[in-house]
């Protein structure tokens, strides 16, 4: 899963980006509203964390422009805690609201909930035959036995599971699993898919040759 963090406070930006990456997300950062809007409009993200008080373009205006083109889930981060600011944010198209200072665990939980809701998942547990995925704990089991997946392998499994029954192109997977600094070599997906099949079963991921992958 790929997340964009738009925040002009360098220390907070670095802290949030590091926390998300440690939790297995691919993360891009932006230090002002102009850069944030450009990335939000031109790249595919599973969630956007958006500060309100930003240079160049503030969070309100960024959100307004973004909603003209995309429905990417947005979690607004702000020092403002007045009810009217929360109402304005939600009415402007934000999906959730978190007031600074916040607990990192709560932030991560809200990001997981945003992504889950955007995929129309009611709970954090997804069952696919003998494989079960818990998006809250990022745990995967097969026939009740826990499996050890790398962060990238888990992200690939989770993304395909959230879009089960649909063909997911290789381009889409690269867009959602790798951040802008990653070296996206053409065979990386093949390597990850091969490793996942060894752990979850060869039939867990179907290949549509020349198009992409699918989990039924």
What is residue 85's predicted lDDT score, i.e. its pLDDT?
76
Mean pLDDT computed over 206-213: 82
The count of domains in the chain is 2
Percent of the chain at pLDDT > 70 equals 97
Average of per-residue pLDDT across 26-41: 96
- Nearest by Cα to 58 from 4, 107, 6, 98: 6
Distance CA(25)–CA(151), nearest Å, equals 8
In this structure, are residues 137 and 112 in contact, taking their beta carbons and an 8 Å threshold? no
| pLDDT one-digit tens code per residue, 45-63 | 999 999 998 999 999 999 9
- 12 is in which domain, residue-wise? 2-118
Pair 188, 150 in one domain: yes
pLDDT (tens digit per residue) in 158-183 = 999 999 888 999 888 888 888 777 66
Question: What CATH number corresponds to the domain at position 96?
Answer: 3.40.50.2300
Range in 12-26, 30-44, 98-112, 196-210 with the lowest mean pLDDT = 196-210
**Stretch 36-42: mean pLDDT, rounded?**
96
Residues 86 and 191 in one domain: no
Task: Check pLDDT > 60 for residue 185.
Answer: no
Domain boundary residue, one of 118, 149, 167: 118
146 and 129 inside one domain: yes
Whether residue 184 has pLDDT greater than 60 = no
Q: Quote the DSSP letter at residue 119.
A: T
Q: What is the pLDDT of residues 119-142, one digit of tens each?
A: 877 788 899 889 999 988 889 999
- Which helix (H) or strand (E) element contains residue 98? strand 96-99
SS3 2: strand
Calculate mean pLDDT across residues 201-206: 88
| Backbone phi and psi for residue 145, each to the nearest 5 degrees, phi listed first | -95, 125
Neighbouring CB atoms inside 10 A of 25's CB total 23
- For the chain, the first-to-last Cα distance in angstroms comes to 19
Handedness of CA 194, 197, 198, 199 (dihedral sign): positive
Which parts of the chain fold into alpha helices (H)?
10-22, 33-42, 59-67, 83-91, 104-118, 151-162, 170-177, 188-200
pLDDT in tens, 66-105: 999 899 999 998 877 777 777 777 788 889 989 888 999 9
What is the CB neighbour count within 10 angstroms for residue 208? 12
Task: Taking residues 135-150, report their average pLDDT.
Answer: 90
CA geometry: angle at 60 spanning 59 and 61, to 5°?
A: 95
One domain for residues 112 and 11: yes
Q: Tell me the CATH number at 170.
A: 1.10.10.10
Co-location of 139 and 71 in the same domain: no
**DSSP string computed for 27-44:** EEEESSHHHHHHHHHHS-
- 10/92 Cα distance (integer angstroms): 26
Q: How confident is the model at residue 186 (pLDDT cuts 50, 70, 90)?
A: low
Mean of per-residue pLDDT scores for the chain: 89
Please give the Cα distance from 13 to 16 (Å, whole number): 5
- How many whole angstroms separate alpha carbon 31 and alpha carbon 8? 4
């Amino acid at each position: 899963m790929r997340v964009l963090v738009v925040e002009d406070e360098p220390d907070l930006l670095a802290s949030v980006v590091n926390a998300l990456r440690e939790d297995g997300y691919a993360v891009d950062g932006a230090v002002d509203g102009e850069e944030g809007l450009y990335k939000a409009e031109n790249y595919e993200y599973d969630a956007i964390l958006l500060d309100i008080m930003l240079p160049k373009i503030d969070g309100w205006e960024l959100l307004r422009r973004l909603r003209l083109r995309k429905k990417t889930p947005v979690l607004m981060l702000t020092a403002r805690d007045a009810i009217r600011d929360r109402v304005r944010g939600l009415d402007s198209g934000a999906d959730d609201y978190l007031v600074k200072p916040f607990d990192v665990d709560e932030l991560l939980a809200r990001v997981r909930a945003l992504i889950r809701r955007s995929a129309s998942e009611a709970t954090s547990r997804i069952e696919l035959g003998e494989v079960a995925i818990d998006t809250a704990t990022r745990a995967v089991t097969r026939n009740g036995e826990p499996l050890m997946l790398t962060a990238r392998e888990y992200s690939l499994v989770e993304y395909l599971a959230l879009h089960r029954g649909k063909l997911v192109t290789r381009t889409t997977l690269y867009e959602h699993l790798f951040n802008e600094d990653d070296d996206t070599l053409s065979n990386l997906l093949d390597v990850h898919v091969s490793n996942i099949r060894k752990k979850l079963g060869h039939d867990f991921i179907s290949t549509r040759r020349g198009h992409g992958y699918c989990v039924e």
